[in-house]
Structure 1
């Protein structure tokens, strides 16, 4: 029975093959310590969060009213657990209410800290992607640093675009639309647009991050889509858990909100890594070349997952090509 060993796209892998993929994912997420890698990403993500808020408010405040920015940002932070949301929104309000001259000076310092911490988080993410795809980092120091800076820049630009889409576009639509029809349409469409932007951003990360010949886009989008969907569901699920069953504040006291925020960042990083793991094992399910450029035989594709056929349940690797 077919396992999808000759599939030229993920949709060509049947259920039996997807069960092989799921088995390998379950085994590898534990043996390759994805949770530990996600913890390092979350740590640097937390360090970059508050300087990033300061920098974002300073820059966005040049064309947006700070109070309006804070008010509309509440829609983004609503998916966070309440204690974490209070920390983020409290920082946003403090920065928005700060003196403009002080804010501009602080923004310069905050940008430096945010860029450093965010780049460290991205560097850990690149290392994690190499682990997931079975690659060793052989690129020279300057290439890796340039890639890290580029991906960090993409991340920051994406966050700024998200802020503008949530905070500015509805206000602009309300001015140009007398009857509110466009305003309601924009309010609805901005969330699917943000989701699509997240899928594209994660797919770019999966394509450029690992030290290998890049995979074709069709082998990257399933993991990116699943990662975005799991992140939305996981964020709301974690928020519900903290509100209903969590005892972080009782256990950690005043640090409860910070611990919740750090846990949410860990969950987010783990989900992004899990999406990459899905893409990697989908590639390993087929004998077909999943890398860019002309088709190459297995062993000559400069990508471990494209060059190696993943084991099936029961180690059945004898199935002939379809």
Structure 2
């Protein structure tokens, strides 16, 4: 079922030589412009201009980069700040929610594992600020207070998920098609699923640790190889990629959730961006920025906020990249006509020679 709204043709001033609005490079805007170009038959100048553009080497690549740059410039910095604020607001309720679900599963689970599993994806300068507070927050809640905190955590973290949904909706140029509570309930289900995946990662980490100890005991000659392999460092990056890919796939507007619209490029970009920020932020803070001279005792909080702002900016870039790579059937048809016109012009040029 196609959830996309009916196209409304842009004004004549919005149509450029390439057939789509200059101010909006989202897939929906490109789809509407392609439909308008087909219905109004405005190819005489616009089509020839697009054909000439196709002769330029790297025209498609440059067009994609322009779409990502324009989308990030328009929405990236605002949404990055919003994500940073929501991340600081939601991270501790998420720890409480994780501890509540572990309690529901029964004894034998260490709630501090939730904290360690999250901060492993953060630079030490941020993890050292968040981890002690998170452990104190979890330890201070037992009984009904724990479940009350879990309920607040569900609502708070779902607000962060809704922020990500809005980023993707803006990137693809679509409108809200479902009700408020439908989105909230789907966000709650996504959050609970994320906690279950964290618990699964705990089990995998225990199995990896057990396997390493067994290899050390039975085949000590392989111990140096295991030290260099460092599977425990690779696992967080894979888990991070899987989480981001799940977010992109789940929160992308329904009309663009089909396999023909790739989700993995944005997930790969965000994972590389996130890991790069995690490794690059500590030396950057040591050599360039002196937050303690400006913010005093709040320097740790500001560093965490800056980290989440950078991660949020990467999320926006990843969303814009996926949207830039999304080619609707209408736009694909226009590209085929442009390619056919390009080939025709080349043949005419060869014949004239």
Q: Which residue of 2 aligns with 1:229?
A: 272
SS of the aligned residue for 2:258 comes to: coil
* Distance across 1 between alignment mates of 2:98 and 2:210: 20
Change beyond 3 A, Cα 1:307–1:125: farther
Structure 1: 5+ residue stretches without partners: 1-13, 290-296, 300-305, 310-316
- Contact 1:202/1:224 (8 A) holds in 2: yes
Are 1:279 and 2:342 an aligned pair?
no
Measure how far apart 1:125 and its partner are: 0.8
- Contact 1:119/1:148 (8 A) holds in 2: yes
Q: Which residue of 1 aligns with 2:301?
A: 258
Over residues 183-218 of structure 1, what are the superposed CA-to-partner deviations in whole Å (9 max), with x where a residue is unaligned? 948973344343333323322322231333213167
Q: TM-score, normalised by structure 2?
A: 0.66
Measure how far apart 1:20 and its partner are: 2.1
* Distance across 2 between alignment mates of 1:44 and 1:149: 16
Q: 1:244 aligns with which of 287, 298, 307?
A: 287
Change beyond 3 A, Cα 1:144–1:66: closer
Q: 1:189 aligns with which of 223, 228, 231?
A: 231
* Distance across 2 between alignment mates of 1:38 and 1:205: 16
Q: Which residue of 1 aligns with 2:130?
A: 88
Change beyond 3 A, Cα 1:248–1:162: farther
Measure how far apart 1:136 and its partner are: 0.8
Change beyond 3 A, Cα 1:281–1:26: same
* Distance across 1 between alignment mates of 2:166 and 2:118: 33
* Distance across 1 between alignment mates of 2:338 and 2:117: 55
> What pairs up with 1:1-16 in 2 under 5 angstroms?
16=59
Change beyond 3 A, Cα 1:56–1:74: closer
Q: Which residue of 2 aligns with 1:142?
A: 181
> What pairs up with 1:73-84 in 2 under 5 angstroms?
73=116, 76-77=119-120, 79-82=122-125, 84=126
* Distance across 2 between alignment mates of 1:66 and 1:187: 28
Q: Which residue of 2 aligns with 1:50?
A: 92
Structure 2: 5+ residue stretches without partners: 1-56, 344-353
Q: TM-score, normalised by structure 1?
A: 0.71
Measure how far apart 1:18 and its partner are: 2.3
